[in-house]
Structure 1
Amino acid sequence: MHARTDGWTPRTLERLGGWCVRRPWRVLAAWLLVAVALVGGVAAFGRPVDNDVALPGSDAQLARDLSERGGGGPASSGQVVVRVDAGRLDEPDRRAALERTAAALAEVEHVTRVDGVDARAGTLSPDGRTGYLTVRLDVPAREVDKALSRSVLDAAQPARDAGVETVPGGALATAAERGGSHTAEVVGLLVAAVVLLFAFGGLVAAVVPLVTALFTLGCALATVGLAGHLVAVPSVAGNLATMIGLGVGIDYALFLITRYRALRAAGTPADEALVAAMGTAGAAVVFAGGTVVIALGGLAVAGVPILGTLGWTAGLVVVVAVLGAVTLLPALLAVLGPRLDALPLRLRRRAGDGGTGWARQAERVTRRPWRWALLAGALLAVLAAPAATLTLGQLDAGDDPPGSATRTSFDLLAEGFGPGVNGPLSVVAAVDPPAAGTADPRLAELTRELAATPGVASVAPVRLADGGRVATVSVQPDTGPSDPATAALVADLRDVRVDGVQVHVGGSTATRADLADRVRDRMPWVIAVVVGLSTVLLYVAFRAPVVAVKAAVMNLVSIGAAYGVLTAVFSWGWGVELTGLSGPVPVESYVPMMLFALLFGLSMDYEVFLLSAVQEAWRATGDNRAAVRYGLAGTGRVITSAALIMVTVFAGFVLHTDPVIKMFGLGMAVAVAVDATVVRGLLVPATMALLGRANWWHPGRRRRPAPEPDRTEALAGLSSNSQPPVV
Structure 2
Amino acid sequence: MSTIEDGPLHAVMGRVGRFSTRRPWLVVVAWLLVAVAVGSLVLAFGRVTDEDASLPGSDAQRGRDLLASHFTGSQNATGQVLFRSQAAPLDTAAVAATSQRIAAVEHVDAVGKPVLSTDGRTGYVDVQFDVGPRDVTPQLTGEVMDAAATAGLETLPAGALARPENDTRSSEAFGLVVALVVLVIAFGGLLAASLPLLTAIITLVCGVGAIGLAGHLTGIPSVATTLGTMIGLGVGIDYALFLITRYRALLTAEDQSAPAASGTTLSGQTAAGADAAKADALRARRRAAIVAAVASSGSAVVFAGGTVIVALGGLAVAGVPILATLGWTAGLVVLVAVASATTLLPALLTLAGGRVSAQRRRDRPSFWGRLADRVTRRPWRYAVTSALLLLALAAPVTAMTLGQTDAGDDPVGTDTRAGYDAMAAGFGPGVNGPLTVVASLGTPAASAADARLTQLSAEVAGTPGIASVQPVRLSPDGTVASIRAVPTTAPSDPATRQTADRLGDLRVGETFVAVTGQTAIRGELADRVGARMPYVIGLVVLLSALLVFAAFRAPVVAAKAALMNLLSVGAAYGVLTAVFQWGWGVTWIGLDGPVPIEAYVPMMLFALLFGLSMDYEVFLLTAVRESWVANGDNARSVRDGLAGTGVVITSAALIMVCVFASFVLSPTPVVKMIGLGLAVAIAIDATVIRGLLVPATMVLLGKANWWTPRRRRRIAEPAEPETLEPSAR
Q: In structure 2, how many angstroms separate the alpha carbons of the residues matched to 1:71 and 1:687? A: 63
Does 1:651 find its partner at 2:638?
Answer: no
Structure 2 matches for 1:291-302, cutoff 5 A?
A: 291-302=307-318
Aligned partner of 2:70 in structure 1 is: 70
Does 1:240 find its partner at 2:250?
Answer: no
Which deviates more from structure 2 when the two are superposed, residues 101-110 or residues 572-581? 101-110
Structure 2 matches for 1:159-308, cutoff 5 A?
A: 159=150, 161=151, 163-174=152-163, 177-180=164-167, 182-267=169-254, 269-308=285-324
Q: In structure 1, how many angstroms separate the alpha carbons of the residues matched to 2:70 and 2:479? A: 8
Cα distance per residue 1:409-451 (max 9 Å; x no partner): 0001111111100000011010111111111111111112212
Does 1:79 find its partner at 2:68?
Answer: no
Cα distance per residue 1:454-511 (max 9 Å; x no partner): 1111121111004110010011111000000011111111111210311001000000
Cα distance per residue 1:200-244 (max 9 Å; x no partner): 000111111101110121011121111111111111000000000
Structure 2 matches for 1:576-587, cutoff 5 A?
A: 576-587=586-597
Q: In structure 2, how many angstroms separate the alpha carbons of the residues matched to 1:618 and 1:199? A: 27
Runs of 5+ unmatched residues, structure 1: 118-122, 342-347, 706-716, 723-727
Mapped contact 1:392–1:589 kept (Cα < 8 A): yes
Aligned partner of 2:131 in structure 1 is: 139
Structure 1 residue 87: Cα displacement:
2.1
Aligned partner of 2:327 in structure 1 is: 311
Q: For the structure 1 residues 704 and 64, does the alpha-carbon distance in structure 2 shift closer, same or farther, using more than 3 Å as the test?
A: same
Mapped contact 1:146–1:178 kept (Cα < 8 A): no
RMSD: 1.9
Amino acid at match of 1:367: R
Structure 1 residue 622: Cα displacement:
2.6
Mapped contact 1:591–1:660 kept (Cα < 8 A): yes
Q: In structure 1, how many angstroms separate the alpha carbons of the residues matched to 2:613 and 2:374? A: 24
Q: In structure 2, how many angstroms separate the alpha carbons of the residues matched to 1:149 and 1:661? A: 23
Q: In structure 2, how many angstroms separate the alpha carbons of the residues matched to 1:685 and 1:265? A: 26
Aligned residues: 686
Q: In structure 1, how many angstroms separate the alpha carbons of the residues matched to 2:701 and 2:7? A: 29
Aligned partner of 2:34 in structure 1 is: 34
Q: In structure 2, how many angstroms separate the alpha carbons of the residues matched to 1:353 and 1:576? A: 46
Does 1:154 find its partner at 2:154?
Answer: no
Q: In structure 2, how many angstroms separate the alpha carbons of the residues matched to 1:203 and 1:696? A: 40
Aligned partner of 1:548 in structure 2 is: 558
Mapped contact 2:252–2:359 kept (Cα < 8 A): no
Structure 1 residue 614: Cα displacement:
1.7
Amino acid at match of 1:98: V
SS of 1:582's partner is coil
Does 1:501 find its partner at 2:511?
Answer: yes
Mapped contact 1:355–1:635 kept (Cα < 8 A): no
Amino acid at match of 2:656: M
Does 1:450 find its partner at 2:460?
Answer: yes
Structure 1 residue 368: Cα displacement:
2.1
Structure 1 residue 339: Cα displacement:
2.9
Does 1:101 find its partner at 2:98?
Answer: yes
Aligned partner of 1:55 in structure 2 is: 55
Structure 2 matches for 1:189-588, cutoff 5 A?
A: 189-267=176-254, 269-341=285-357, 350-352=360-362, 356-588=366-598
Identical pairs, percent: 60
Amino acid at match of 1:237: A
Amino acid at match of 1:233: I
Q: In structure 2, how many angstroms separate the alpha carbons of the residues matched to 1:143 and 1:335? A: 45
Amino acid at match of 2:108: V
Mapped contact 1:355–1:637 kept (Cα < 8 A): no
Q: In structure 2, how many angstroms separate the alpha carbons of the residues matched to 1:520 and 1:704? A: 48
SS of 1:128's partner is coil
Q: In structure 1, how many angstroms separate the alpha carbons of the residues matched to 2:145 and 2:550? A: 59
SS of 2:116's partner is coil
Q: In structure 2, how many angstroms separate the alpha carbons of the residues matched to 1:383 and 1:353? A: 38
Mapped contact 1:252–1:325 kept (Cα < 8 A): yes
Amino acid at match of 1:467: D
Structure 1 residue 44: Cα displacement:
2.1
SS of 1:472's partner is strand
Q: For the structure 1 residues 642 and 376, does the alpha-carbon distance in structure 2 shift closer, same or farther, using more than 3 Å as the test?
A: same
SS of 1:577's partner is helix
SS of 2:482's partner is strand
Cα distance per residue 1:535-574 (max 9 Å; x no partner): 1111121121111100100000000000000000100111
Structure 2 matches for 1:103-118, cutoff 5 A?
A: 103-117=100-114
Q: In structure 2, how many angstroms separate the alpha carbons of the residues matched to 1:145 and 1:646? A: 32
Q: In structure 1, how many angstroms separate the alpha carbons of the residues matched to 2:364 and 2:53? A: 49
Q: For the structure 1 residues 649 and 718, does the alpha-carbon distance in structure 2 shift closer, same or farther, using more than 3 Å as the test?
A: farther
Amino acid at match of 1:106: A
Q: For the structure 1 residues 371 and 315, does the alpha-carbon distance in structure 2 shift closer, same or farther, using more than 3 Å as the test?
A: same
Mapped contact 1:5–1:11 kept (Cα < 8 A): no
Mapped contact 2:253–2:727 kept (Cα < 8 A): no
Amino acid at match of 2:102: L
Amino acid at match of 2:375: V
Q: In structure 2, how many angstroms separate the alpha carbons of the residues matched to 1:582 and 1:313? A: 31
Structure 1 residue 5: Cα displacement:
5.3
Which deviates more from structure 2 when the two are superposed, residues 404-413 or residues 535-544? 535-544
Amino acid at match of 1:413: M
Runs of 5+ unmatched residues, structure 2: 255-265, 267-284, 716-725
Q: In structure 1, how many angstroms separate the alpha carbons of the residues matched to 2:680 and 2:138? A: 34
Q: In structure 1, how many angstroms separate the alpha carbons of the residues matched to 2:415 and 2:105? A: 20
Structure 1 residue 618: Cα displacement:
2.2
Please give the TM-score of this superposition, normalised by the length of structure 1. 0.92
Structure 1 residue 45: Cα displacement:
2.1
Mapped contact 1:224–1:238 kept (Cα < 8 A): yes
Q: For the structure 1 residues 213 and 638, does the alpha-carbon distance in structure 2 shift closer, same or farther, using more than 3 Å as the test?
A: same
Mapped contact 2:318–2:536 kept (Cα < 8 A): yes
Q: In structure 1, how many angstroms separate the alpha carbons of the residues matched to 2:464 and 2:385? A: 51
Residue 613 of structure 1, aligned match among 617, 623, 629: 623
Q: For the structure 1 residues 389 and 313, does the alpha-carbon distance in structure 2 shift closer, same or farther, using more than 3 Å as the test?
A: same
SS of 1:85's partner is coil
SS of 2:55's partner is coil
Amino acid at match of 2:318: A
Amino acid at match of 2:219: A
Q: In structure 2, how many angstroms separate the alpha carbons of the residues matched to 1:136 and 1:340? A: 59
Aligned partner of 2:22 in structure 1 is: 22
Does 1:628 find its partner at 2:638?
Answer: yes
Amino acid at match of 1:200: F
Aligned partner of 2:708 in structure 1 is: 698
Please give the TM-score of this superposition, normalised by the length of structure 2. 0.91
